[in-house]
Chains A and B, each alone.
Chain A
Amino acid sequence: MTEHAEQLRRIPRVDREAVAGLRRYAWLVGWWAAGRAVVFVSALAVDALGPAGYLRSEERGSALGLLDAWDGRWYRMVAEYGYLLVPGRQSDPAFFPLYPVLLGGLHRLGIGYGAAGILSSNLALLVALTLLYLLTRELLGEGRARRATIYAAIFPLGYVFSMTYPESVVLALIAGAGLAALRRRWLLAAVCAGGAALARPEGIFVALPLLAIAWHQRRTLSATGRGLALGAVVAPAAALASFPFYLDRVLHDPLAWSRAEHAWGRHFSPVGIVHAVTLLPAQVSNSAWVIRDVVFFALYLVLLARARRAGAPWAWIAAGLAIVALPAFSASFMSIGRFGLLAPPIFWGLAELGRSRRADRAIRVVSIVLLVAATVTVPFVFP
């Protein structure tokens, strides 16, 4: 036996597995680090060279303040002061509670709210990428899983995953719920699904794939197992229901979320998508940035179709479609680009597009270039 083999034998088995695990996922950590490096360097460049006067002095105060801007301020405000509905004005009950709860928890450990936001979002992205990889591997195989994960790490609007926004946490929870359900760990699936719905309203749509998986496993589950599976399907709605109850307790208004959304210019109606289209010229003349979201909306629809062609289950496609299309029912396309980041099938569709080596390379290069460009736009427009 060689000396090296002898040394390896002396390492405890658990440690060896950890080392092997780290090696197995080194590429994933590398892409996560590369994507985040692109975002951080771009943010630092904007801080050093970018235009003054677009961001609040609070956000200009630190080198990475750019990543703490826009909704980040509102999430911090909820974490620090709690909810308050200001009638007739944009106010914070429009922001779902799980992310501020996370910021508040980290703050209690002695981390500042701004740092807590950036830290939690970026670490959550690493978890999200890992879970997205494992989920995709189970559904669509190794090749697509790798590509989907890499594309998610460097997706053009993926700078949001590094901001004080809940998107990376929600993506982790959605992918985690799906993976746990596939592995028959339904209680964990319920926790993840509930958390996703409590962090973003779109999180509720994870119930669709969970329902499909539960239906598929129904004959092989015990009565208790079926109950856990059904509970996991209902958990997002149940967790979501806790939000109006909480708002009723602190603000005496269970509909505070809806009222706040109204003040933010979002009012859901069955014909909202028609209004979104008819009002588009006016919205473009008001702010041309909405074109970005219309382009991503169209791209997401194409990617969902490609994901279906790649063999993604219908339930996931339906969930992705709901995540992408539902915001348009509030009569606006604004921010749909960001909302789509929560739908794993988007990345599966992109992985399907990147099957050939040439397409794969092209997607990677274009994504990184657009990621830099999109990060630089943060002072001018919210994601």
Chain B
Amino acid sequence: MRGVLVTVAVACLVACGAALTGWGLQAAVLPPPTKAARVTARAVSWLLRYRLVDSRFRIGGGPPVRGECLQAWIPAPHHGGEDRGTVLALDTGRALVVSPQGVRLLGPSWPEPRTLPLVELDLGGCSRMLAPRLAAILQTKHIRIERAFAAGHPALAIPVRTKRTRIVVYVTPRTFKPFAVAVDSRRYRAHSRIRLTRLTPARLSGLMELAGR
């Protein structure tokens, strides 16, 4: 009996030693991720968790606009099936449908710079537009965050540079949930307040109807 106990005790010691040594090696040699990286990764998680984002924004001196941005499988007339896409509906009657084929404008339109739809999609908080931008800077490892105020609240600002614009995603300091976006381009300077929202069947069908037009 004593022999069995010794065997089990020694085996447990060896196993614990293996686990602790493994853990210790990782903790001693590998650097932990920076706070900026953790905050940004968490912000990406938040964005990917929601398919609908409500927003309020104003571009330059223009009127305030309300938007709702949906990520869904949208009809693809060219192959008769569906493609993963984005629908941004604005309360001005204007809508943008983004699919692998490009951006389609619906509703009132006028001659406008090519960057305007991109700025609107970012301001609308369209999660599958913003999340890849944040994920891309995570993979370059050149990430920084700053303490800031946005929409009257303390925030952490995550700046992202794209080819044509500079975007700042503001997240709450505790949960790192995105709640505001600022876009700065050569032509436009705008802020938006965004709210990640649970998608209901009623809102889904309304926006899908728009996308199918």
Do chains A and B stick together as partners?
Answer: yes
For B15, list chain A residues within 8 Å (CB). Answer: 231, 234-235, 237-238
A35 interface contact, C-beta 8 A:
no
Q: Report the separation of the CA atoms of residues A251 and B40 in the bound assembly, to the nearest whole angstrom.
A: 12
Contact with B along A217-231 (1 / 0, CB 8 A): 000000110111011
**CB <8 Å contact, A242 and B23:** yes
Nearest residue (CB) in A for B22 is A242
B138 interface contact, C-beta 8 A:
yes
Return the contact of A241 from the options B4, B19, B38 (Cβ within 8 A). B19
Mark the stretch among B25-33, B154-162, B200-208 that contacts chain A: B25-33
Return the contact of B18 from the options A87, A238, A250 (Cβ within 8 A). A238
B21 interface contact, C-beta 8 A:
yes
For B48, list chain A residues within 8 Å (CB). Answer: 87-88
Nearest residue (CB) in A for B19 is A238
**CB <8 Å contact, A235 and B18:** yes
Known contacts A97-B25, A98-B25; decide if A227 and B19 are in contact (CB<8 Å): no
For B38, list chain A residues within 8 Å (CB). Answer: 84, 251
A383 interface contact, C-beta 8 A:
no
* Residue count of chain B within 8 Å CB distance of chain A: 42
Return the contact of B131 from the options A77, A80, A88 (Cβ within 8 A). A88
B198 interface contact, C-beta 8 A:
no
**CB <8 Å contact, A228 and B30:** no
Nearest residue (CB) in A for B12 is A231
A291 interface contact, C-beta 8 A:
no
B44 interface contact, C-beta 8 A:
yes
Q: Which residues of B (5-64) have their CB < 8 Å from a CB of A?
A: 6-23, 25-27, 29-34, 37-38, 41, 44-45, 48
B30 to chain A, nearest CB (A): 5
For A79, list chain B residues within 8 Å (CB). Answer: 29-30
Known contacts A88-B131, A105-B29; decide if A231 and B10 are in contact (CB<8 Å): yes
Q: Report the separation of the CA atoms of residues A84 and B38 in the bound assembly, to the nearest whole angstrom.
A: 7
For A241, list chain B residues within 8 Å (CB). Answer: 19, 22
Nearest residue (CB) in A for B28 is A101
**CB <8 Å contact, B22 and A87:** no
B141 interface contact, C-beta 8 A:
yes
A85 interface contact, C-beta 8 A:
yes
For B9, list chain A residues within 8 Å (CB). Answer: 227
**CB <8 Å contact, A239 and B30:** no
**CB <8 Å contact, B13 and A97:** no
**CB <8 Å contact, A224 and B135:** no
**CB <8 Å contact, A82 and B30:** yes
For A91, list chain B residues within 8 Å (CB). Answer: 138-139
A25 interface contact, C-beta 8 A:
no
B3 interface contact, C-beta 8 A:
yes
Q: Report the separation of the CA atoms of residues A87 and B34 in the bound assembly, to the nearest whole angstrom.
A: 16
**CB <8 Å contact, A83 and B41:** no
For A108, list chain B residues within 8 Å (CB). Answer: 29
Return the contact of B14 from the options A88, A198, A234, A251 (Cβ within 8 A). A234
Return the contact of B30 from the options A101, A226, A245 (Cβ within 8 A). A101
Return the contact of A250 from the options B12, B25, B33, B138 (Cβ within 8 A). B33
**CB <8 Å contact, B26 and A224:** no
A249 interface contact, C-beta 8 A:
yes
**CB <8 Å contact, A81 and B11:** no
Return the contact of A228 from the options B14, B21, B22 (Cβ within 8 A). B14
Q: Which residues of A (242-260) have their CB < 8 Å from a CB of B?
A: 242-243, 245-246, 249-251
For A232, list chain B residues within 8 Å (CB). Answer: 14
**CB <8 Å contact, A227 and B8:** yes
**CB <8 Å contact, A226 and B7:** yes
Q: Report the separation of the CA atoms of residues A84 and B140 in the bound assembly, to the nearest whole angstrom.
A: 12
Q: Which residues of B contact A (CB under 8 A)?
A: 2-4, 6-23, 25-27, 29-34, 37-38, 41, 44-45, 48, 131-132, 135, 138-139, 141
The 6 lowest CB-CB distance pairs between A and B, nearest first, are A231-B14, A227-B10, A242-B22, A230-B11, A194-B18, A223-B3
